[in-house]
Structure 1
Amino acid sequence: MAESKIKRSEEITNQYFAFLDKHIEDVVNGQFDDFLKLNQIAQELYVSHTHLSDTIQQTTGHHPCHFYDLKIVNKAKSLLVDSDLSIAEIAKKLTYDPSNFGKFFKKFTGQTAGEFRKDYKK
């Protein structure tokens, strides 16, 4: 029986997603002051920035930043639902100025963080 072998592009994509999950947690927990830039993440994964971008784009159809932002939004959603932190505190935990965070959140969800929290708690 032949071993199923994961393609290198899938391996890089999986490593990128796993790295993002851990890195976002580390930022929220105060272990990092800010989010790493894509070129820094590529270095951590031992690939070039271009190779990382091209690989994620080819395997998923989206630029790596798309998933980075989505994962940050998903973390924000979980903090809005599972914590009593104010929206400003959540913004700061995610390294955003509260006014910029509001725009960022609404761009991805179609509603403000306050509306999201209120709708969820209904």
Structure 2
Amino acid sequence: MYTEDNITRSKEICKNYLIFLDNHIDDVIAGRKMEFLEINEIASELAISHTHLTDVVKLEMGNHPCYFYDLKIIDRAKEMLVHSQLPIAKIAAALTYDPSNFSKFFKKWTGVTPGHFRQNFLES
């Protein structure tokens, strides 16, 4: 059973997770980290178990931690597509994807390819 302390701690875990993701994605894009961490590695960095992180994020936020991880990567990809002149292949590489897999990942989340996303933004 959740007490008020548990609810507060749960919200704190979710907040810390999302902040960690933002910082970690920044580190990967800037080249300070060479690859994205797995969820279990992130949990370890947050000093909690993988299972606890997963359970808390699902309970508090309604989805698995991977959902929010992917969503933040997509949001950063959108920013890079809109606010930079970098070729899509370079954006894919900065996000540790090969261009083909990046396009598939991006389209799965947005319904359009990165190229179409950029073009639609420029035309609007």
- Give the TM-score category using the shorter length: over 0.9
Deviation track 1:53-84 (CA, whole Å, cap 9, x = no partner) reads 00000001100000000000000000000111
Alignment length (residue pairs) = 119
1:106 equivalent in structure 2? 107
Q: How far apart, CA to CA, are the structure 1 residues paired with 2:20 and 2:122?
A: 31
Q: How does 1:58-77 map to 2 (within 5 A)?
A: 58-77=59-78
CA distance in 2, matches of 1:27, 1:33: 6
- The structure with the largest helix share of the pair is 2
Equivalent residue letter for 2:76: K
Q: Secondary structure of 1:7's match?
A: helix
Unaligned runs of 5+ in 1: none
Please give the secondary structure, in 1, of the residue aligned with 2:63.
coil
| Partner Cα separation in structure 2 for residue 65 and residue 32 of structure 1 | 19
- Map 1:14-29; keep pairs closer than 5 Å: 14-29=15-30
- Structure 2 residue 25 is the aligned partner of structure 1 residue 51: no
TM-score (norm 2): 0.93
How far off its partner does 1:97 sit? 0.9
For the residue of structure 1 that corresponds to 2:32, the secondary structure is coil
Distance 1:93 1:105 in 2: 14
Calculate the TM-score normalised by the size of structure 1: 0.95
Displacement after TM superposition at 1:98 (Å): 0.6
Q: What 5-or-longer segments of structure 2 have no aligned partner?
A: none
Moved over 6 A (4+): none
Aligned identity (percent) is 56
1:31-50 map, 5 Å: 31-50=32-51
